[in-house]
Amino acid sequence: MLVDRYGRVATDLRVSLTDRCNLRCTYCMPEEGLAWLPREDVLTDDEVVRLVRVAVERLGVREVRFTGGEPLLRRGLVDIVTRCAALTPRPELSLTTNAVGLVRVADKLAAAGLDRVNGSLDTIRHDRFETLTHRRRLDDVLAGLAAARDAGLEPVKVNAVLMRGINDDEAPELLAWALEHGYELRFIEQMPLDAQHGWSRDAMVTAAEILESLQAVFDLTPIGDVERGSAPAETWLISGGPAKVGVIASVTRPFCGSCDRTRLTAEGQVRTCLFAREESDLRGALRAGADDAELARRWEIAMAGKAAGHGIDDPGFLQPSRPMSAIGG
């Protein structure tokens, strides 16, 4: 098992399949993009599946979420999903995506064994979408989310980041839209993970502000901590349910104490936290001929060193050198 020194057990693996992305969300990546990882540094499909297999067969991982960068840009995605769905015990498989191009592959992903999709969408207004992402792809995203729902990749959860002065007034409108389309909306507090290092706590739209603006329009009832488990989102029932809305308050209400996640970057580095400043190299060991037992041992050692919390509030907090796109959100 992947156990840390505080007794937390990681059963949820986030696998980044690429650091590349076709959007340029201002809180993540500069408009000109970034220097992408060299191809030879990125795990091959076989290497990804091997490490997922080690995690599932030997380390107790039960859920695998593919992310990035933009995972739909990974050519072998459907094949990777197919092979991971054939593992025993079969892990739950999900995808975090900006949904651009999802309309073309949603059915194939569902047939391959993908269980669920989380889409990312911060605004339903065309002008704001372009301001936030530097791309005119809102219609593609909307079509992609609908395709995921129609393919049965449900519940389709939609993640939204609110940015002050850009879309911070849009929470109720986004929620009304999500309810109309049968999506489960979750707001994520902006985290200090942008490549530009432009994050500031004062500018961040807080969970409290988001809730206040939602409660002005919707009747929200909190779902208790017991039902929340290790989920990052705090959840509210809307008008008594069953529809829900979530807020992932990573900054103002951290949930590190119940974290059950471990992460693998596109180049095969284990990270114990989004905000970790250290990584453990599995790719090097794998390419040097390590067997499954040795890979599992290295992963366990990495997990043992997981920090108690992300430390954003510590005076000595340093933003990780890698941006979110290179870690895998």
Nearer to ligand SAM, 72 or 302 (CB): 72
Question: Is residue 27 close enough to count as binding ligand SAM by CB under 6 A?
Answer: yes
Dist CA 295 CA 288 (whole Å): 11
Q: Are strands 157-161 and 280-281 parallel, antiparallel or unpaired?
A: unpaired
Helices vs strands, H then E, count in the chain: 11, 14
Question: Is residue 12 close enough to count as binding ligand SAM by CB under 6 A?
Answer: no
Are the C-beta atoms of 296 and 58 separated by less than 8 Å?
Answer: yes
Binding mask of the shown chain, residues 58 to 77, with x at each position contacting ligand SAM by CB under 6 A: ---------xx-x-------
Question: Is residue 28 close enough to count as binding ligand SAM by CB under 6 A?
Answer: yes
Kindly tell me which residue out of 21, 80, 175, 195 binds ligand SAM, with binding defined by CB under 6 A.
21
Question: Is residue 82 close enough to count as binding ligand SAM by CB under 6 A?
Answer: no
Name 160's bridge partners.
187
Question: Is residue 96 close enough to count as binding ligand SAM by CB under 6 A?
Answer: yes
Between 171-181 and 138-150, two packed helices, what is the crossing angle to 10 degrees?
Answer: 40
With b for 16 or more beta-carbon neighbours within 10 A and e for fewer, the 273-299 pattern comes to bbbbeebbbbbebbeeebeeeebbebb
Dist CA 283 CA 41 (whole Å): 9
Question: Is residue 204 close enough to count as binding ligand SAM by CB under 6 A?
Answer: no
Kindly tell me which residue out of 82, 94, 97, 280 binds ligand SAM, with binding defined by CB under 6 A.
97
Select the span of 24-32, 124-132, 268-276, 309-317 touching ligand SAM (CB under 6 A).
Answer: 24-32
Residues 117-176 that bind ligand SAM (CB under 6 A): 120, 159, 161
Question: Is residue 98 close enough to count as binding ligand SAM by CB under 6 A?
Answer: yes
Are the C-beta atoms of 18 and 266 separated by less than 8 Å?
Answer: yes
Nearer to ligand SAM, 100 or 238 (CB): 100
DSSP per position, 99-160:
-TTHHHHHHHHHHHT--EEEEE-S-SSHHHHHHHHSS--HHHHHHHHHHHHHTT--S-EEEE
Question: Is residue 324 close enough to count as binding ligand SAM by CB under 6 A?
Answer: yes
Nearer to ligand SAM, 21 or 56 (CB): 21
Question: Is residue 194 close enough to count as binding ligand SAM by CB under 6 A?
Answer: yes
DSSP state of 176: H
- Tell the smallest beta-carbon distance from residue 319 to ligand SAM (Å): 10
Question: Is residue 190 close enough to count as binding ligand SAM by CB under 6 A?
Answer: yes
- Tell the smallest beta-carbon distance from residue 87 to ligand SAM (Å): 22
Nearer to ligand SAM, 19 or 260 (CB): 19
CA of residue 225 relative to chain centroid, distance: 21
Three-state DSSP class for 16?
Answer: strand
Question: Is residue 272 close enough to count as binding ligand SAM by CB under 6 A?
Answer: no
Site of interaction with ligand SAM (CB under 6 A): 21, 25, 27-28, 67-68, 70, 96-98, 120, 159, 161, 188, 190-191, 193-194, 324-325, 329
